[in-house]
Chain A
C-alpha cells in the first residue's frame, strides 16, 4: 500500500538578506498509513520546521526551498501539497491534516468558552451548528473529557485538560494525519501518560496516522511504531522503535540512546560537543564533528539515507557497501 504521505527532497530554510540558510535539508520520508511515527532530535535539529513545512504553515523568514509532498487519502484523492494553492490547503487542513503545534494548550482564546472555540472551526469547514456541536462532544469523549466542559473558559481548566481540548479540536474532523509537536512537554508524567494513551486510542479508533515530534526518547519508546532520528536538518536514521532503541546504527542515534540517564547506579556519558546551528552546518556528514567513528570520507561527502534491510534506513558512510567491504 502506498504511504499516506510521501516526502521527497524537502528543504526549507530561513530567508536572510542575501541568502537562504537551510534548516531542513532534502528530507525523504514515507509516513505509513495508521502508524505512529516519532521524529526525535535535539533542539534546533529542524524537527519543528519539518512539521510546519508538512502543514505548509511556514511563515517568513521561513521559506520552502524544494521537494515534493504527496498525500494519498483513503478515498482515492491524491494531493501534491507543495503545489496546492492556499485556498485548497485551507480546506485540507483540519479536515485531513491536523496540526497540534508546540505550546498550543496556551493558545486557547481566554475570553471565549470552549464550545465556541471548538465549533467555530467546524462551522468554517461547512458543518451546521448542531452537527459541529455533536462532533465536538464526540471528540471530547475521545480524550475522556465530559461534554459539560464546553461551557468552561480556558482558565478554569488545568494544563492537561486544555491540552486535551486542543487534541479534541484537532481530531474533531477525523483527519487522516495528525502532526503533534511536543504534545506533552510541559505536563507531568501521569497526565503525559494519559494523553499519549488517549492519542494511541484515537489512532486505533479513527485509523488516523500520527506524526509525533519530541525530544523525549521515553515518549517515542512508549508509543511510536517507527522512529526517525533527525540531526542538523537531516534524517540520520529511520527504523522500527525496537530496532532504533536496541541496535541503533547511526553513531548519532547510538550517542542519543546512550546518553539517556537511566537507573542502575552506573554513569552514562553525554554526547560530547554541541549540535551545530543552521548557520554553520559542517560540510560532508553533519555529524562528523562529534562522531567517534569519523573517517576521511565523512568530512568531504554527505552520506545519503540508504536502506539497511528490514525497513531500516541510515545516512552514514560506515554502512555503505564499499566501506563495509573494506572493513
Chain B
C-alpha cells in the first residue's frame, strides 16, 4: 500500500487523512522532518501559508522538503499548499519551497465573504467537481511544462507539472475524492519508474 504523508504543521490535516484513507492508501501525519523519509508522496494542506512557513523555518524543514522534491517524489498542494510549492509569488521577493514552475497570487478571489463553491471540470481528473474556494490563490502564469487542468472565470485553479499537483480549492472539504485518487495514482506511477 502506498504511503501518503500529510504535512501537519497547521491546517486541514484531518480532512486530507480521511480522503487518503477512503481512497485505500495509508496516510501518515508528518510533524517532524525525519518522518518525510517514510512516505512516497506528500500532501501540503490548506491553512495559512505564513504560519506554515514560520514553523517550517523554525524546525529546519525546508532543506528536507526541497530534497523530497529533488528525489522526484510527488507533492500535492491545496490552497496554502499551492502557495508553498510555487516558484514565484506575486508581491514577494522569494518563494517558499519553490519547486513548481508557476506564479501564484495569494487571496486573489478576495476576502472570506467572496469565498465560494463552484462546479469545475478538471482535465483528466473529474467533471462536475464541487470545488470549495476559501480566500483562495490562483495561478497567474504557468511555465511551459505545466499542464493546466482547470480554470475558473479565466483563472488557472488547478495544474500539474510532472510530479507536482496544485489547486486553488479544497478537495478535502467534500466527500468527492477524485482529486486525491488522481494524486495517489501519480504516487503509484512514480514508484513503478
Task: Check if A and B associate.
Answer: no
